[in-house]
Amino acid sequence: MSLLCFGVLVFSILTSSSYAKRSQLIQLRDENWRDCLTGEWLIKFYAPWCPACKDNEPQFEEFSTWSDDLGIKVATVDITEELGLSGRFMVTALPTFYHAIDGEFRRYNGDRSSDSMHTYIEQKTWQNHEIISWMRHPDSFGMTLMSWLFKTSVIMKNIHESLMEDYGLSLWMSYAVFGIGTVITGLVLGFILVCIVDVVFPQQQRPNKSAPARPKEVRKESGDGDGRKMEDYDSQSDEQDWETIKDKEIQGSDGTELYRRKPTADKEIPVEQDISTRKGGKDD
């Protein structure tokens, strides 16, 4: 009889001790998730409807009884209630385990048994695993936006259900309301963005600059009064690009003067040239 009483006493002590340790299991929420940025944690993401999560529940609770001995904190996240954390940690499969130590996060992909997790923490085998990149860090800007996106989807879902159940709208009417709301929201956000750009980067009016007038051709009289100097290069080139073809160069010519274009000379043609000099003194 005494042995039976002793056995019952030992069993009750072990049971109460185990229960006390399991009560230390922390439930992370959107309000307190930043607590896992300090210290060492092992976090499990689960859903009540997930069969694999239910099968792992006894093993994870058993592992949580070693949290004080290992000097870590064991936590769980219900993604059906904390969808924002699901997006922040990019949970794509269930259950998902993360090991966190002083703000460094690693994905735990080992065996889900209590002994394997105990070895993973006690022997620090997590040091052999790669830290998740800064882009996927839960506290990064991108993951924060992802969290807000997941939260927005939940809000939209609740509004959709409210329109159908509380206001009696049909499915397509609810979709129409969301479509109109999306267009109006886009217009408002675009208007706000334009106003911000105008304030930050105001437009500066540039003075209208008229095109400069082309200088008129200047005719200068020569010193001897026999001719004038012209600055029109086109007229000079027209007079200099043609030469007379002699009769000897044309077979059967009857004496008619023909002209052909001169080959372009490599030398530079002066812009100003005395007309009397070009004509070879014909005025005399």
- The encoded tokens of residue 35 equal 């607590």
Q: What angle (nearest 5°) sits at the alpha carbon of residue 46, between those of residues 43 and 51?
A: 135
Options 5, 36, 50, 195, the catalytic residue = 50
Query: DSSP E strands: which ranges in 2-116?
Result: 26-27, 40-46, 73-78, 96-101, 104-108
Sorted by sequence, the CB contacts under 8 Å of residue 248 that are 6+ apart come out as none
H-only helix segments in 81-170: 83-88, 114-122, 141-165
Is 5 annotated as catalytic? no
Is 53 annotated as catalytic? yes
**Kind of pairing, strands 26-27 and 73-78?**
parallel
Residue 138 class from Cβ within 10 Å (0-12 exposed, 13-18 middle, 19+ buried)?
A: buried
Report the greatest alpha carbon distance in the chain.
159
Options 5, 36, 53, 195, the catalytic residue = 53
Tracing tokens 């200068």 back to the chain, one arrives at 220
Q: What are phi and psi for residue 32, nearest 5 degrees?
A: -120, 15
How far apart are the C-alpha atoms of 64 and 284, rounded to whole Å?
Answer: 124
- 117, 66 Cβ separation under 8 angstroms: no
Tracing tokens 């105001």 back to the chain, one arrives at 202
Chain-centroid distance of CA 87 in Å reads 18
**Residues noted as catalytic:** 50, 53
